[in-house]
Amino acid sequence: MNIAEYFQNKEAEIVEKIRQIVEIESPSNDEAGSKEVVDWVEKEARQIGCISSIERIYRQGFGEHLLIRAFSETSNSKPQILLLGHTDTVHPRGANAKNPTRIEGDKFYGCGIFDMKANVVVMLEILQAF
C-alpha cells in the first residue's frame, strides 16, 4: 500500500480525530483547556509505535506543552526533522456553540481546525504511517 492509499483508507478515522481535538476548547492562556488538549494529544501519541518518548512541559499562565520524540533508536548522525505545532486557539470558551464543528459539502469547519488542530492530527497520522 502506498502512502496515498494509507490516508484514503483512514479518512473517516482522521476526520473523527480532527472533530475530537477541535471540540476541545483551548483558548490561548487557558491552562485547563491546554491541559485537556495536551491529554488528548498524548493519549493519541502513545498509540504510535515509533514514538520513543513524550515529555510534558508546564508553563505557568500558558499551560502544558508536549515534546514528542520519534525514532530515537535510529542513529543521531542522520538528519532530523522538527514537526512543530500548537493547540491553542484565538477562540474564547463558548465559541464552539456559535461555530460548531461540522462538515458542509466538502468543507470541514470548527474553531481552530485550520490553525492548527487538524494539522496536529495529520502530524500524528504521518508518524503512524511510518
Amino acid code (one letter) for 44: E
pLDDT tens digits in sequence order for the chain, 130 residues long: 899 999 999 999 999 999 999 999 999 999 999 999 999 999 999 999 999 999 999 999 889 999 999 998 766 677 888 999 999 999 999 999 999 999 999 999 999 999 999 999 999 999 999 8
Amino acid code (one letter) for 48: I
pLDDT on residue 75: 64
Cα–Cα distance measured from residue 11 to residue 80, given in angstroms and rounded to the nearest whole number: 28
Cα–Cα distance measured from residue 87 to residue 34, given in angstroms and rounded to the nearest whole number: 7
Nearest 5°: the CA angle 77, 43, 30 is 100
